[in-house]
Structure 1
Amino acid sequence: MMTPANLKRDVLGVMMNAAPITVGIFLYPGMTMLDAYAPLQMLAFAQGIECFTFAKTALPLPCDAGVDLLPNYSFADCPSMDILLVAGGGNPYQAMQDETTLAFLRQVGSQAQYITSVCTGALILASAGLLNGYQTTCHWAYKEVFKRFEQVEVVDQRVVIDRNHISGGGITAGLDFTLTLVAKLQGAAAAQVLQLLLEYDPQPPFDCGNPRSAAPELVAGVQAEVHKLAAELFA
């Protein structure tokens, strides 16, 4: 006889015996470390999820924080993944123009259950043609670059879910993105456990983390710096 207790036992047994969900995080030179490693750190505490990093080669690569990152795999030996995560960077232009990179991401993305991004990682996915017909979000200062991708709709939200594409806005939105992803995969309770375990309780000292709340002169100054950093993107 099937009882609630038996059902719970059977469901837990399936979850314990199920293969872990694999998340592959794409790394590239000059990227923003927090875009990739904030989700990686959070997911490291999530039950039933395994993460790895991959890049064009397995050699150490520089990030914009002045330290080298060491990918777990290269394109040549990268295992399959359930979830593709493409992180962003201040100037993702090279990754957006590299045909080998775009071809590999297209191949991986066609097989993944979810195609995800943080910050300007969405621009790399769009360059690979993986966001055609999708809504996405991105760092606010780079949204005008999406004008060249007519089939992609940019939404002004911190996290956007559109079918099998989940995206986070600029840099720190990767934390909210990760909790959203975990909730999608494992339910709200699992995400809440993770949030409490990591004591993710943001209380910023200033209310200027979004262009809607920041002073106009501050927004203009940051936008100008972004234009200088990634001039190729805004040409």
Structure 2
Amino acid sequence: MTTSSTRRTLLRGTAAGAALAAGTLTNTAAALSVHDGPPAPPRLGGRPAEAGGPGGRGRKRTGPRIGVLLYDGYSLLDPTGPAEVLSRLPGAEVTMVAERRGPVRTDTGDVRVMAERSLAETDRLDVLVVPGGGNRGTVGAINNPVLLEWIRRTHRRTRWTTSVCTGSLVLAAAGLLKGRRATTYWASAPYLESAFGVTYVAERYVRSGRIITAAGVSAGLDMSLYLASLISGEETAMALQLAMEYDPQPPFESGNAAEAEPWLKERALRLVEESGT
């Protein structure tokens, strides 16, 4: 039996598959623990990353180059949900990008995600993902001229420019959504329309040309699966959804703002505000 067929057999066995996955994670963690950190990475947008190189992750990348923007105060699932989906597209290279390389904290301040490249090190992207955040993060982003100029410049060459949650406000502040249909976090919809001349659509994701906006937080998963179908076809996107076991069955029917009682909306916003830094 070949090595590849043995591996497939193991993965199809529940207990054995779990053991194999655990071993892989252990080996990965051990490798990371002794890694002293890479040298400055090459500009994203050059030749495909080779196996083992910066961003290569042990395999050659020949698919779309995807950049996920991080800024101080983003909401954790906004960038990481799409990254989970898009990083599994065939040949895809997904990189977290921020003004400066290094850890970038979320809106709660409890978690930091590593940005592997700075804006200056990111030359060209096929896909840009702009996450949303709490009030501090979103306000900071829409008033950051360096960030907005980079988004405008990057958008000129992307195949797809996308946002999650209040990330649509950031795209709008960069001038990309004027006169377009878009969605955003439900509580930000009036501001998106009044401040930026955008037509708000209360849907999980909205496509307007090569710009795709997603509603709040978890909607980034829906948007990413739709984007995956545009990039690699519906069958691949369906397989990714199954691989993730993304079959939402929440314990409560309270996730639709259009159907929520005023008291629940008020409490939801208060929880978000109180959990932010």
| Category of TM-score, reference length = shorter chain | 0.7 to 0.9
Whole-Å Cα distance in 2 between the matches of residues 156 and 227 of structure 1?
22
Whole-Å Cα distance in 1 between the matches of residues 228 and 142 of structure 2?
28
Residue pair 1:207, 1:214 contacting (<8 A) in 2 also: no
Superposition pairs of residues 204-215 of structure 1, within 5 angstroms: 204-215=250-261
Alignment counterpart, residue 101 of structure 1, candidates 140, 144, 147: 147
Whole-Å Cα distance in 2 between the matches of residues 145 and 74 of structure 1?
30
* 1:31 match: 74
1:216 Cα deviation after fit: 2.8
Residue pair 1:42, 1:194 contacting (<8 A) in 2 also: yes
Q: Which runs of 5+ in 1 are unaligned?
A: 1-16, 231-235
Whole-Å Cα distance in 2 between the matches of residues 225 and 153 of structure 1?
28
Q: SS of the residue aligned with 1:60?
A: strand
* 1:64 match: 107
* 1:48 match: 91
1:41 Cα deviation after fit: 1.1
Alignment counterpart, residue 195 of structure 1, candidates 225, 241, 251: 241
1:90 aligns with 2:134: yes
* Bigger relative contact order, structure 1 or 2 (CA pairs below 8 A, ≥6 apart): 1
Q: SS of the residue aligned with 1:64?
A: coil
Q: Which runs of 5+ in 2 are unaligned?
A: 1-59
1:117 aligned partner, one-letter code = S
Q: SS of the residue aligned with 1:29?
A: coil
Whole-Å Cα distance in 1 between the matches of residues 99 and 92 of structure 2?
23
Whole-Å Cα distance in 2 between the matches of residues 53 and 198 of structure 1?
21
Alignment counterpart, residue 200 of structure 2, candidates 131, 146, 154: 154
Whole-Å Cα distance in 2 between the matches of residues 199 and 190 of structure 1?
14
Whole-Å Cα distance in 1 between the matches of residues 143 and 213 of structure 2?
21
Whole-Å Cα distance in 2 between the matches of residues 228 and 187 of structure 1?
41
Whole-Å Cα distance in 2 between the matches of residues 223 and 42 of structure 1?
28
* TM norm structure 1: 0.85
Please say which structure displays the higher CA radius of gyration. Answer: 2
* TM norm structure 2: 0.72
Whole-Å Cα distance in 1 between the matches of residues 235 and 219 of structure 2?
20
How many equivalent residue pairs?
213
1:110 aligns with 2:153: no
1:207 aligned partner, one-letter code = E
Q: SS of the residue aligned with 2:62?
A: coil
Residue pair 1:60, 1:70 contacting (<8 A) in 2 also: yes
Residue pair 1:90, 1:229 contacting (<8 A) in 2 also: no
1:18 Cα deviation after fit: 9.5
Residue pair 2:61, 2:92 contacting (<8 A) in 1 also: no
Q: SS of the residue aligned with 1:111?
A: coil
